[in-house]
Amino acid sequence: MKHAKDTNASQPETPDTLTWQDLQNHALWWVRLVYNTACFIRDVLFKHWRTSLPLMLAGLLLSLALLRQRAGVYQMAATFVYGDLHPKIFGDMVAKLDALLNNGRADKAGGLMQLTEEQAKKIRKVEISDIKGKKLTTNYTFRKEPMIFTITLSAPISEDSLRQAITGYFNSNPFTADRLEMKKRQLREEMAFIEEKLQAVDSILAKLYAGGSLSASAQSTVTIENSEGKNAHELLSFSRELQQRKAEIERNLAIPENVIPIDNFILLPKARWDAGHVILYGISGIFAGFLLASAAAFWRDRLRKLVQD
């Protein structure tokens, strides 16, 4: 036992052992850090006040000017869905519209969106992206994800006018309009075919339930996969499938556009000029000016020491 105690006593203390001295040193380090920081802030505010005060005032004025500018800017984001067209088509359409606005062609942009030139001049920027924020101009996928259209204006425009302008612009493109008309023509032809088949099925079912016999021409009128249409159960199943397809076609024909908005058009300012925002922006500007003044004071003292050395 004595030998074991001597062995344990002779073992050196591991360097990662936490002692009260370590805790004391750590606490003193934090105290020194807080004290030095407080002294530095005191020097910036009082010793270098000729530099810090103008910078803090400039930060205050710039932040309030930014708030005023943001309060005069309005923005709206709307979600659209589209049919079988490629998303890059809409990305290119919006990019060209934005290029017209940036080049001062508000008259041309207003004509494309069916807005007056005065209304079009209020539009600052238009952009479109997918739900992940990626620009559609670089979207080469075929996923039919919703697209987010964002418009920024210098003054408000009627939300109904914006809805009609944006939706109309997407659907007035000659290519998209031709595709839509071709699609509707195919749907109407399919609808006529379904109506003919449903009439034939109803006629055959009426004869089957009446106990009558089917003529050769009636048997060849309706053809089901792997069946000649002689079984009433199969005919009813076929009729149900036709009805479902008919309802789907009616829904598609009821939508008069390739691109459809699926949420409300709400135009709001990017910021509000009220007491809360003025205080928040003012404090942020003063703090930004103080940080700039602190950096200037720090590097000035550091450069002075280097020159003296």
H or E element in which residue 76 lies: strand 74-82
- Clarify whether residues 100 and 138 are in a common domain: yes
H or E element in which residue 268 lies: strand 268-269
- Clarify whether residues 290 and 151 are in a common domain: no
- Clarify whether residues 200 and 106 are in a common domain: no
- Clarify whether residues 197 and 297 are in a common domain: no
- Tokens representing 103 are 């080049």
Per-residue pLDDT of the chain (309 residues; tens, 9 = 90+): 445 445 555 555 555 677 888 888 888 899 988 888 888 778 777 777 777 888 888 888 898 888 888 888 899 999 988 876 788 888 898 999 999 999 989 889 988 888 888 898 999 999 999 888 888 888 877 777 889 999 999 888 888 888 889 988 888 777 767 777 788 888 888 888 988 888 888 887 777 767 655 454 444 444 444 344 456 777 788 888 888 888 888 877 766 567 888 888 888 888 888 888 888 888 898 888 888 888 887 787 777 777 776
Q: What angle do CA 70, 74, 76 make, to 5 degrees?
A: 130
- Clarify whether residues 239 and 287 are in a common domain: no
Q: Three-state SS for 210?
A: coil
Domain span at 86:
73-177+259-269
Give the Cβ contact number of residue 171 at 10 Å: 16
Q: Three-state SS for 78?
A: strand
- Clarify whether residues 120 and 138 are in a common domain: yes
DSSP 220: T
- Clarify whether residues 133 and 265 are in a common domain: yes
Give the pLDDT confidence score for residue 222 in this predicted structure.
45
Would 24 be classed as within a structural domain?
no
Would 56 be classed as within a structural domain?
yes
Would 292 be classed as within a structural domain?
yes
Would 33 be classed as within a structural domain?
no
Give the pLDDT confidence score for residue 151 in this predicted structure.
93
Rg of the Cα atoms in the chain: 37
State how far the alpha carbon of 169 is from the alpha carbons of 100, 113, 177, 232, in Å.
14, 5, 11, 51
- Tokens representing 128 are 């479109």
- Clarify whether residues 165 and 263 are in a common domain: yes
Pairing of strands 259-261, 147-153: unpaired
Give the pLDDT confidence score for residue 218 in this predicted structure.
47
Question: In angstroms, rounded to a whole number, what is the distance separating the alpha carbons of residues 188 and 60?
Answer: 65
Question: In angstroms, rounded to a whole number, what is the distance separating the alpha carbons of residues 62 and 168?
Answer: 40
Q: Three-state SS for 85?
A: coil
75 forms bridges with which residues in the sheet?
Answer: 152, 268
Q: How many domains does the chain have?
A: 3
Q: What angle do CA 171, 163, 146 make, to 5 degrees?
A: 65
- Clarify whether residues 146 and 293 are in a common domain: no
| Global pTM value | 0.58
Pairing of strands 123-130, 147-153: antiparallel
Would 34 be classed as within a structural domain?
no
| Sheet strands (E) in 141-247 | 147-153
DSSP 44: I
Would 92 be classed as within a structural domain?
yes
Confirm if 152 and 123 have CB atoms less than 8 A apart: yes
